[in-house]
């Protein structure tokens, strides 16, 4: 890449795509004019076009759960979309209206709690897709807040998370959103039950009806919990948890930014959907992003993919992408049920730019691993000279990392640089070995002119479709997650063993561990 970057001055021109406010620069990849066409030929041979239309058409492509996968319908409900003979756009629009009306009551302070006070604190109780997307988007779009509501997230069952939130809020002015498609996830239900008890202690038995709402596919379980019927908002079986931020699960975002901007958020995803459906594969951003990553995973033996967002507002974004990618494509069985012998979903890691440079980038530059990187860059129309300097430094930092990954540093360059610093020759000869950077490491840049609701919607949809394309080409089901089920099955027995170490039915080694920690906790 270093040589081609130096010789070919037109790589950026040739290897970048633009969609609305998004620039996708893939010039820093191990590709030439043949590579993308060949990978697109592979995509055609794997029937990608047919498969992506099945996605949008509501075919039951989630074969192990016999479900359609229609998160795309959530942002394209302007026209009928049928699955199982039912037009889901009707339910989507009806629910969106209900949510908007409820949000308006909160915003206009006409929804009053048990002590007739309006709501100030919003507590989202959820985990996985019922937490990561909502939290990442609320964090990212905080500058678009239309009110002074404060937002809190309780996800893990560690009491510290719950108590941190409980100690920050005022029970009389708090609304708890139990976000759970299944309404059985033990972390979420445990947190919800504890917060219900705390609220009943604080405000009396009636606390539930005015301070708890539910977003779920299981209305009966929500009613049994004590949620008032008018406070239950549906999510449907054909919306995967990790793809649900566009649905009622995104209610916290609707509360933060309001109806107009939430529609803008949906419109960003819609723009990407239309691009994904219409652009030829070699000019299709999710497809090219997916093909490049697949190229490295299956032809260069890459195991991981770093995603580094040079944006403080996107500091919770990578854990969200981790779930979308790893819970979708962390599979090893084909659609036909055969064991797969090739790499599938990458290990997604990364986080906030600049910080990473002083943490794990060392391994990216000089480690033995071959790890492609996606840099996400966010610009803004910052006018204040003092602050514009920060933005320039942020973008220049990302470019410095991308350049170093690509260019590296030869032994000769290291040696001469040491001599320039007047290092004695014999020492320079030694030390230079340690300063060599292999280079030739690929990276993509996804640049957004500004972090608006529309642009955030675009960015998320691009990664959703990138994951879809890879799953389709690997011939796997990206939409179930049986791998996490066994842990859930084992939990009750282990929980019981924690309480009754003597009578437990668990293996002797785990039992010995429990006995040890039980004894330890007594001293
Ligand atoms: O991790 C398994 C999983 O089912 C995720 O797919 C989902 O987002 C999360 O748990 C929460 O599930 P629920 O919304 O049903 O509580």
Span 395-446, pLDDT tens digits: 999 999 999 999 999 999 999 999 999 999 999 999 999 999 999 999 999 9
**Ligand 1 centroid – CA 127 distance (Å):** 7
CA atoms within 13 Å, Cβ hemisphere of 493: 11
Q: For position 521, what pLDDT does the model report?
A: 84
- pLDDT at residue 368, rounded to an integer: 96
Is 327 tagged catalytic?
yes
Cα separations (Å) of 331 from 12, 113, 347? 35, 46, 12
Atom of ligand 1 minimally distant from the CA of 179: 14
Q: Is the CB of 188 under 6 A from ligand 1?
A: yes
| Residue 232, beta-bridge partner list | 214
Express each pLDDT in 100-112 by its tens digit. 999 999 999 999 9
- Report the separation in Å between the CA atom of 128 and the middle of ligand 1, taken as the mean of its atom positions: 5
Region at 58 (left for phi over 0; alpha for psi -120 to 50; beta for the rest): left
- Give CA separation, 447 vs 24, 287, 307, 324, 486, in Å: 6, 17, 13, 20, 40
Distance 62 CA to ligand 1 centre (A): 16
Is-catalytic flag, 429? no
273, two tokens: 């959907």
Q: Which pLDDT belongs to residue 506?
A: 85
Report the pLDDT value the prediction gives residue 205, as an integer from 0 to 100.
Answer: 87
pLDDT of residue 499: 81
- Predicted confidence at residue 207, as pLDDT, reads 82
358 catalytic per annotation: yes
Residue segments in the chain with a per-residue pLDDT below the cut of 50: none
Can you read off the two tokens belonging to residue 293?
A: 């990553």
Selecting among 7, 9, 358, 520, the annotated active-site residue is: 358
> Quick one: pLDDT at residue 42?
98
* pLDDT at site 501: 73
b/e 386-412 (16+ beta carbons within 10 angstroms → b): eeeeebeebbebbbebbebbbbbbbee
Q: Is the minimum distance from the CB of 218 to ligand 1 under 6 angstroms?
A: no
Distance 241 CA to ligand 1 centre (A): 6
* pLDDT reported for residue 365: 98
Specify the pTM: 0.97
Q: Indicate the helix (H) or strand (E) that contains 87.
A: strand 86-87
Which of these is catalytic: 327, 352, 454, 465? 327
Pocket test for ligand 1, best of 129, 216, 217, 486 (most atoms within 8 A of CB): 129
Q: How far apart are the CA of 226 and the centre of ligand 1, in A? A: 21
pLDDT of residue 498: 85
pLDDT at 2 (0 to 100): 93
Beta-carbon neighbour count of residue 267 at 10 Å? 15
How many residues in the chain?
523
For ligand 1, is residue 130 a contact (CB within 6 Å)? yes
The one-character DSSP state at 4 is H
With b for 16 or more beta-carbon neighbours within 10 A and e for fewer, the 297-329 pattern comes to bbeeebebbbbbbbbebbbbbbbbbbbbbbbbb
Asked if residue 76 has its Cβ within 6 Å of ligand 1, the reply is: no
pLDDT at site 297: 98
């Amino acid at each position: 890449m270093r040589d081609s970057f130096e010789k070919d001055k037109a790589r950026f021109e040739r290897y970048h795509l633009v969609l609305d406010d998004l620039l996708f620069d893939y010039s820093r990849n191990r590709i030439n004019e043949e590579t993308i066409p060949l990978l697109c030929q592979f995509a055609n041979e794997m029937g990608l076009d047919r498969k992506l239309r099945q996605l949008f058409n509501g075919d039951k492509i989630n074969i192990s759960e016999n479900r359609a996968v229609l998160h795309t319908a959530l942002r394209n409900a302007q026209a009928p979309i049928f699955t199982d003979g039912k037009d889901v756009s009707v339910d989507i629009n009806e629910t969106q209206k209900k949510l908007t009306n409820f949000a308006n009551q909160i915003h206009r302070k006409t929804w009053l709690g048990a002590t007739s006070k309006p709501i100030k604190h919003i507590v989202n109780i959820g985990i996985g897709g019922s937490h990561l997307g909502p939290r990442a988007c609320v964090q990212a779009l905080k500058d678009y807040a239309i009110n002074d509501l404060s937002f809190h997230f309780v996800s893990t069952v560690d009491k510290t998370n719950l108590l941190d939130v409980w100690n920050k809020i005022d029970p009389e002015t708090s609304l708890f959103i139990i976000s759970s498609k299944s309404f059985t996830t033990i972390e979420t239900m445990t947190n919800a039950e504890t917060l219900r008890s705390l609220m009943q202690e604080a405000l009396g038995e009636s606390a539930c009806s005015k301070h708890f709402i539910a977003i779920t596919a299981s209305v009966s379980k929500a009613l049994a919990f004590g949620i008032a019927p008018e406070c239950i908002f549906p999510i449907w079986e054909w919306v995967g948890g990790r793809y649900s931020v566009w649905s009622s699960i995104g209610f916290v975002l609707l509360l933060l930014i309001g109806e107009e901007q939430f529609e803008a958020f949906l419109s960003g995803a819609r723009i990407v959907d239309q691009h994904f459906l219409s652009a030829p594969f070699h000019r299709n951003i999710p497809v090219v992003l997916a093909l490049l990553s697949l190229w490295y995973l299956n032809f260069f033996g890459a195991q991981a993919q770093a995603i580094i967002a040079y944006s403080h507002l996107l500091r919770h974004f990578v854990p969200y992408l981790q779930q979308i990618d790893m819970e979708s494509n962390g599979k090893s069985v084909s659609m036909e049920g055969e064991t797969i012998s090739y790499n599938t979903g990458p290990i997604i890691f990364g986080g906030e730019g600049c910080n990473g440079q002083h943490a794990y980038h060392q391994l990216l530059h000089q480690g033995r691993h071959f790890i492609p990187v996606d840099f996400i860059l966010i610009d803004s129309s910052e006018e204040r000279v003092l602050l514009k300097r920060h933005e320039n430094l942020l973008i220049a930092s990302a470019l410095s990392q991308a350049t170093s990954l690509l260019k590296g540093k030869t032994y000769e360059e290291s040696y001469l640089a040491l001599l320039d610093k007047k290092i004695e020759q014999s020492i320079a000869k030694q030390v230079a070995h340690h300063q060599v950077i292999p280079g030739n490491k690929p990276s993509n840049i996804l640049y957004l002119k500004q972090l608006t609701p529309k642009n955030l919607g675009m960015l998320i949809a691009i990664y959703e479709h990138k994951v879809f394309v890879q799953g389709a080409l690997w011939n796997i089901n990206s939409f179930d997650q049986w791998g996490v089920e066994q842990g859930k099955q084992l939990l009750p027995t282990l929980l019981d063993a924690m309480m009754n170490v003597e009578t437990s039915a668990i293996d002797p080694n785990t039992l010995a561990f429990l006995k040890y920690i039980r004894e330890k906790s007594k001293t």
